Amino acid sequence: MTTPRRLLLVNGPNLNLLGIREPDVYGHETLADVEALVTATAADAGFEVRAVQSNHEGVLIDAIHAARTDCAGIVINPAGLTHTSVSLRDALSGVALPVAEVHISDVRTREAFRHHSYVADVAVVHVIGQGVPGYAEATRLLLDQIGA
């Protein structure tokens, strides 16, 4: 069986407001910029990208479940769900795909409640605090893990 040449890009709650919400923390780039960056980075290795963003946890979990049949890995910024969602973590663990966790800001230097990630133990790649360019780095590192 050949490995699918597709990645799933998952962006959690409020990331649809990139470029508008707290630009001093998250910058001026938009979600469309993030999706274009990941798509271009993956294309360099011959991979496609399916992108999903939702403010609803179940939508993200359903997308992760669907990825198990046609994706080689997942790049995810769970946003606020990073710190609260065991269900999202279990979905990532359950599909048994390599996961890259990415955060635009350095969550380790922000409010104390942001210091814990439920995703951390299921991710093989962690890129934190590199701004939107961190998505490209996370994608490249994930592709290295996949052997692309």
Q: End-to-end alpha-carbon separation of the chain, Å?
A: 15
* 74 labelled ligand-binding: no
In the sheet where 73-77 sits, what is the strand order? Answer: 48-53, 6-11, 73-77, 99-103, 125-128
Separation between Cα atoms, residue 73 and residue 99, nearest integer Å: 6
Indicate the pairing of strand 6-11 with strand 73-77: parallel
* 64 labelled ligand-binding: no
Burial class (CB within 10 angstroms; exposed 0-12, middle 13-18, buried 19+) of 126: middle
Q: List, in sequence order, every beta strand (DSSP E) within 31-142.
A: 48-53, 73-77, 99-103, 125-128
Q: Is the predicted pLDDT of residue 1 greater than 60, yes or no?
A: no
* 104 labelled ligand-binding: yes
Which tens digits make up the pLDDT trace of 81-138?
998 899 999 999 999 999 999 999 787 776 676 668 889 999 999 999 999 999 999 9
Q: Which residue has the higher pLDDT, 107 or 40?
A: 40
Q: Output the pLDDT for position 26.
A: 76
Fold of 6-146: Rossmann fold (3.40.50)
Separation between Cα atoms, residue 23 and residue 126, nearest integer Å: 22
Which tens digits make up the pLDDT trace of 4-31?
899 999 999 999 999 998 777 777 899 9
How is the chain split into domains, by residue range? 6-146
Residue 100's nearest CA partner among 71, 135, 68 is 135
Residue 60's nearest CA partner among 27, 104, 15 is 15
* 87 labelled ligand-binding: no
* 114 labelled ligand-binding: yes
**Catalytically annotated residues:** 26, 103
Q: Determine contact, residues 82/117, Cβ cutoff 8 Å.
A: yes
The pTM is what?
0.93
Helix, strand and coil content of the chain, in percent to the nearest 5, comes to 45, 20, 35
Q: Output the pLDDT for position 115.
A: 63
Q: Output the pLDDT for position 30.
A: 96
Q: Is the predicted pLDDT of residue 36 greater than 90, yes or no?
A: yes
